[in-house]
Amino acid sequence: MGHDHHHDHRGADARALAVVLCLTAAFAVAEVIGGIVSGSLALLADAGHMLSDSVSLGLALGAIALARRPPTARLSFGFRRAEILAALANGVTLVAIAIWIFIEAARRLQDPPEVTGGTVLLIAVLGLAVNLAGAAILWRAQGGSLNMRAALAHVVADLLGSVGVIVAAGIILTTGWLAADPLVSILIGLLILASSWRVLREATEILLEATPAGIDADAVGARMAAGEGIVAVHDLHIWTITSGFPALSAHVVVGPGEDCHALQAEVTRMLAHDYGITHTTLQVEHCDDAAAATPSGHSPRCQGAEHAH
């Protein structure tokens, strides 16, 4: 249980998240002050958005800390899936934020509030700079982690929010059209929904133990069964423990007189080299001629031996 089959970038991920969390939380406070001074509900709404994202970033940071804890007899993979649960929670939060934006935009269309455009524009430009810096930090650090991609989606949503506020403030300053603010907000909400879809889909697929994206389970099974000395492969399962950590288990039926240990090692090397699957559990079933001739590949006379890597 002590072997780590996943290349661990969690230290760099944690540092990147901590920096972005500090930037986001600090600017959210600045937006609250600016919103109160200017009387801008748009800024206050964006501040609420950034505060919710700060909570989500903190959740992602906590998930990394949990995932770094060693496995135990009861939790043989440790807390690796804490990252996936955090990503799922972040995706759900993005959807909730989008729904809130739609409701708030509808209210503002009915009764557009007065906005001090100059103050809103200045703070929104500063917010854009902060979010660009945060997105750049997470983009460099994200690697293959779904948890980090979910955190990046939140920061990108903040960035789009800042762009929307800048556009709305510019229109209000030049034309006085107050409805620009809620209309831009609706567009931002749609973009946030789009960014949340991939995160929610990937997290759900991992929790349902679906075959990882980019791997064809039928093709893998056929490749395994095509090996010399292998009669059939059945009970094949390929799933993901956490981002970047695929796993595979299968029963491999070999012909009579074959060296089951050598074949098992050969299949294991092939899976690691061709598909990047390094965590494998193969049960090798050594059958006689009659068993090997059956369509299912098994027989009461088969003897099994299980090998895990």
pLDDT tier, 309 (very low <50, low <70, confident <90, very high otherwise): low
* pLDDT tens per residue across span 277-300: 999 999 988 775 434 444 444 443
| CA-to-CA dists, residue 91 to 1, 48, 197, 200, angstroms | 31, 17, 7, 5
Mean pLDDT along residues 124-145: 83
Angle at 98 between CA 95 and CA 104, to 5 degrees: 145
pTM of the predicted structure, to 2 decimals: 0.71
Closest C-alpha to 144, from 216, 214, 218, 94: 214
The winner for highest mean pLDDT among 25-39, 139-153, 209-223 is 209-223
All structural domains of the chain: 10-207 (1.20.1510.10), 217-308 (3.30.70.1350)
> Beta strands 245-254 and 279-286: pairing type?
parallel
- DSSP, collapsed to helix, strand or coil, labels residue 249 as strand
Max mean pLDDT among 95-104, 184-193, 286-295 falls in 95-104
